[in-house]
């Protein structure tokens, strides 16, 4: 079987760079030890090897498709995948023991899900979406709601979804119009349509639990009038059975990639018989949903790096096996061709992929770690973790998906013409990954969030957290002679980002919010380079220590050399573009606020 992820790199991130074992000192995780976690990761890998990766391409070729009458045909293997993942607790793993969970850190849950994402990204979402929906019910629902919905969701029999987007509203949740009419019986009568609902209908589950945003009659307009509801496709009856809840799948979307992942159009209450149950308090739906959304954003970012990881390893294998051409200096055509991995440009393409993929995955693991710390701490102890997570979430989502597109494109390019054919998986990775910059808030939305909200929140407290953490990494790196130049460079880039932000901030202070945010996406690009450089320096410190101590008990020498080398590569080939972003941001004039758009003709 082809290598689709590096368990060595995953262990390195989990144990050596981000120290999952440090979490075990918290009560909630105190039952865990390192060996146990390593074994769970191995089990997840075995599951993915057996049930997921072998079906990756076939499930894409066959796709999912609307078969009429509310039915979405899905590959029979999907049921096996969901059920076996559920059985290994990869739906319920993070939940408390008393709910049937394993009290796992998000770091461990998402280490396993990274493997699933790399093995078969089109099916992993079915599993993690149920986890996310279950957590919303657990956190904000009633004990009765939890008792009703969580067990079948944890078993993988009921699919959880999040239903936000509406045809007329797209990214603009302000404009949600699905209605919820209170009744004397405690439930609400729901009416409305939702589009782009992932996993909203398929053949692998018996029931669907849609966590849905809607407006209670008379709610205030805009975001402050949106409430969260549980809307099952089949509602539980008093007798313990199920009855149809007037949730109809009216069609699906056929897509460029992730063709095994159903994207559906749902109609609620077409026959005035759709009931929804309020989760938490009225009009607070958006803040609840944002918990799931934030998790989902980390998940999407991580999926992007996982898919790009699989593409990278496929192109690495090809580059080793394929011989072609000779070194530039070699004029003798009778000399045998060399493996293409010996060509500098092929190495450039491979290192670029490795730098993006492993850097992005490290940032995802950083976010998972922070989410765990937020989970097990409270009040003032919690705040720094929460602030840092807030500022990193849009970045991990965006960097991984935008640069992941570039990485998978390079994975095609390494193969030349073969990479463009369906005989190799690269083209599928390229298609699959392209959605990640759109799911759960586009790059534009994430960038507005980063520059417009996260950078300024609580008077810059989140930014301060970031600066402190990066500063700490810089100090540690500066202690190693081999890393000192890179520590200096990162400091320079941090200063540049700070300076850029201050200058941009002038617009905000003058009340010109539009101009302040006009190039938010360029700011995001710059922040991405700097933050991934930080992750690489973190990884390089661990690797350099092992190299200095000649301690190769956990990983080989070349493994650590590879980390230091790729860090150097990232600093040399990627990071210089941060300065270009700064130049763009600080240039005068507003070129993207044109009123008369005929100039675009």
Q: CA 374, CA 384: separation in Å to the nearest integer?
A: 9
Which of 81, 300, 311, 346 forms a contact with a copy of itself (CB under 8 A)?
Answer: 346
Q: Of 257 and 276, which has the nearer Cβ to a copy of itself?
A: 257
Shortest distance, CB of residue 94 to a copy of itself, whole angstroms?
28
**Would you give the binding string for a copy of itself spanning residues 170-209, x where CB under 8 A is met?**
xxx-xx-------------------xx-------------
Shortest distance, CB of residue 268 to a copy of itself, whole angstroms?
19
Structure tokens at 213: 């945003």
Structure tokens at 268: 């609620």
Q: CA 181, CA 156: separation in Å to the nearest integer?
A: 31
Which of 122, 232, 419, 425 forms a contact with a copy of itself (CB under 8 A)?
Answer: 419
Which of 221, 488, 492, 495 forms a contact with a copy of itself (CB under 8 A)?
Answer: 221
Give the SS3 label for residue 263: strand
Structure tokens at 547: 């190299």
Contact between 407 and a copy of itself by CB under 8 A: the answer reads no
Shortest distance, CB of residue 152 to a copy of itself, whole angstroms?
29
Number of residues that bind a copy of itself (CB under 8 A): 106
**Would you give the binding string for a copy of itself spanning residues 291-330, x where CB under 8 A is met?**
-------------------------x---x-x-xxxxxx-
**CA neighbor of 99 nearest in space, from 154, 142, 62:** 154
- Residue carrying the six token digits 């938010």: 520
**CA neighbor of 405 nearest in space, from 307, 521, 313:** 307
The conformational region for residue 222 under phi > 0 = left, psi -120 to 50 = alpha, else beta, is: left
Q: What is the footprint of a copy of itself within residues 551-580 (CB under 8 A)? A: 556, 558-559, 561-562, 565-566, 568-569, 572-573, 576-577, 579-580
289, 136 Cβ separation under 8 angstroms = yes
Q: Of 158 and 196, which has the nearer Cβ to a copy of itself?
A: 196
Torsion sign over Cα 303, 309, 312, 317: negative
Q: Of 30 and 592, which has the nearer Cβ to a copy of itself?
A: 592
Per CB under 8 A, which region of 100-108, 115-123, 247-255, 272-280 contacts a copy of itself? Answer: 247-255
Q: What is the footprint of a copy of itself within residues 510-539 (CB under 8 A)? A: 513-514, 516-522
Shortest distance, CB of residue 352 to a copy of itself, whole angstroms?
10
Contact between 550 and a copy of itself by CB under 8 A: the answer reads no
Q: CA 595, CA 520: separation in Å to the nearest integer?
A: 19
- Residue carrying the six token digits 């700097």: 530
Contact between 250 and a copy of itself by CB under 8 A: the answer reads no
**CA neighbor of 568 nearest in space, from 309, 327, 347, 343:** 347
Q: CA 529, CA 447: separation in Å to the nearest integer?
A: 14
Active-site pick, 94, 366, 390, 440: 440
Which of 27, 35, 378, 601 forms a contact with a copy of itself (CB under 8 A)?
Answer: 601
Q: CA 217, CA 190: separation in Å to the nearest integer?
A: 10
Which of 111, 137, 307, 350 forms a contact with a copy of itself (CB under 8 A)?
Answer: 350
**Would you give the binding string for a copy of itself spanning residues 74-113, x where CB under 8 A is met?**
----------------------------------------
Per CB under 8 A, which region of 29-37, 78-86, 112-120, 581-589 contacts a copy of itself? Answer: 581-589
585, 523 Cβ separation under 8 angstroms = yes
Buried b (16+ CB within 10 A) or exposed e, 436-455: bbebbbbbbbbbbbbbbebb
**CA neighbor of 347 nearest in space, from 409, 406, 414:** 414
Structure tokens at 50: 């057996």
Which of 123, 409, 473, 535 forms a contact with a copy of itself (CB under 8 A)?
Answer: 409
Which of 7, 223, 457, 478 forms a contact with a copy of itself (CB under 8 A)?
Answer: 223
Q: Of 550 and 587, which has the nearer Cβ to a copy of itself?
A: 587
Which of 2, 39, 46, 256 forms a contact with a copy of itself (CB under 8 A)?
Answer: 256
Which of 10, 274, 435, 487 forms a contact with a copy of itself (CB under 8 A)?
Answer: 435
Q: What is the footprint of a copy of itself within residues 8-47 (CB under 8 A)? A: 8
Give the β-pairing of 179-182 and 207-216: parallel
Q: CA 89, CA 40: separation in Å to the nearest integer?
A: 10
Shortest distance, CB of residue 345 to a copy of itself, whole angstroms?
4
Q: Give the CA distances from residue 136 to residues 308, 374, 549, in Å, rounded to whole numbers and listed in that order.
A: 29, 16, 46
Contact between 218 and a copy of itself by CB under 8 A: the answer reads no
169, 286 Cβ separation under 8 angstroms = no
Q: What is the footprint of a copy of itself within residues 112-171 (CB under 8 A)? A: 165, 169-171
Which of 291, 442, 456, 491 forms a contact with a copy of itself (CB under 8 A)?
Answer: 442
Shortest distance, CB of residue 436 to a copy of itself, whole angstroms?
10
Burial class (CB in 10 A: 0-12, 13-18, 19+), 420: middle
Q: Of 240 and 329, which has the nearer Cβ to a copy of itself?
A: 329
**CA neighbor of 535 nearest in space, from 365, 419, 397:** 365
- 201 catalytic per annotation: no
* Active site residues per annotation: 440
């Amino acid at each position: 079987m082809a290598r689709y992820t590096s368990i060595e790199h995953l262990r390195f991130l989990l144990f050596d760079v981000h120290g999952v074992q440090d979490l075990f000192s918290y009560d909630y995780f105190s039952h865990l030890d390192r060996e146990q976690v390593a074994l769970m990761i191995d089990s997840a890998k075995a599951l993915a090897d057996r049930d997921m990766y072998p079906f990756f391409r076939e499930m894409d070729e066959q796709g999912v498709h609307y078969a009429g009458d509310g039915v979405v045909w899905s590959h029979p293997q999907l049921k096996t995948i969901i059920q076996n993942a559920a059985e290994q607790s990869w739906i319920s793993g993070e939940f408390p023991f008393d709910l049937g969970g394993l009290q796992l850190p998000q770091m461990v849950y998402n280490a396993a899900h990274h493997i699933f994402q790399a093995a078969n990204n089109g099916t992993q979402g079915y599993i993690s979406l149920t986890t996310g929906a279950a957590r919303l019910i657990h956190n904000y629902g009633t004990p009765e709601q939890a008792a009703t919905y969580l067990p079948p969701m944890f078993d993988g029999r009921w699919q959880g979804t999040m239903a936000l987007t509406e045809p007329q509203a797209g990214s603009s949740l302000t404009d949600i119009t699905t209605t919820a009419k209170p009744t004397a019986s405690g439930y609400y009568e729901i009416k409305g349509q939702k589009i782009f609902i992932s996993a909203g209908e398929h053949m692998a589950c018996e029931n669907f639990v849609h966590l849905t945003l809607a407006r209670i009659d008379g709610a205030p307009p805009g975001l402050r009038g949106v409430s969260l509801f549980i809307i099952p496709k089949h509602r539980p009856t008093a007798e313990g059975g199920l009855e149809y809840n007037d949730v109809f799948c009216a069609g699906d979307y056929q897509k460029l990639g992730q063709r095994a992942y159903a994207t559906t159009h749902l109609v609620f209450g077409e026959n005035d018989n759709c009931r929804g149950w309020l989760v938490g308090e009225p009009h607070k739906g958006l803040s609840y949903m944002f918990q799931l959304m934030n998790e989902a954003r980390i998940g999407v970012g991580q999926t992007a790096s996982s898919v790009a990881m699989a593409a990278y390893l496929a192109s690495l294998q090809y580059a080793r096996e394929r011989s072609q051409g000779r070194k530039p200096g070699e004029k003798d055509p009778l000399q045998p061709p060399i493996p293409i991995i010996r060509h500098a440009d092929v190495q450039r393409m491979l290192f670029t992929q490795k730098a993006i993929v492993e850097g992005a995955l490290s940032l995802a693991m950083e976010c998972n770690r922070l989410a765990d710390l937020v989970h097990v701490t409270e009040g003032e102890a919690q705040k720094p973790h929460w602030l840092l997570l807030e500022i990193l979430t849009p970045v991990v989502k965006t960097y991984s998906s935008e640069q992941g597109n570039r990485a998978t494109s390079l994975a095609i390019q390494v193969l030349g013409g073969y990479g463009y054919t369906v005989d190799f998986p690269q083209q599928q990775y390229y298609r699959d990954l392209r959605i990640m910059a759109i799911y759960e808030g586009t790059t534009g939305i994430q960038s507005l969030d980063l520059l417009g909200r996260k950078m300024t929140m609580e008077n810059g407290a989140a930014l301060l957290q970031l600066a402190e953490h990066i500063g700490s990494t810089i100090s540690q790196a500066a202690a190693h002679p081999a890393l000192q130049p890179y520590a200096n460079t990162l400091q320079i880039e941090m200063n540049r980002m700070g300076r850029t932000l201050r200058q941009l901030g002038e617009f905000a202070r003058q009340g010109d919010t539009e101009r302040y945010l006009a190039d938010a996406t360029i700011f995001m690009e710059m922040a991405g380079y700097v933050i991934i450089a930080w992750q690489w320096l973190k990884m390089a410190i661990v690797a350099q220590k092992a190299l200095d101590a000649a301690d190769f008990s956990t990983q080989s020498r070349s493994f650590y050399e590879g980390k230091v080398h790729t860090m150097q590569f990232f600093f040399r080939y990627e990071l210089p573009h941060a300065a270009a972003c700064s130049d763009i941001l600080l240039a005068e004039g507003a070129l993207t606020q044109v009123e008369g758009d005929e100039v675009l003709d």
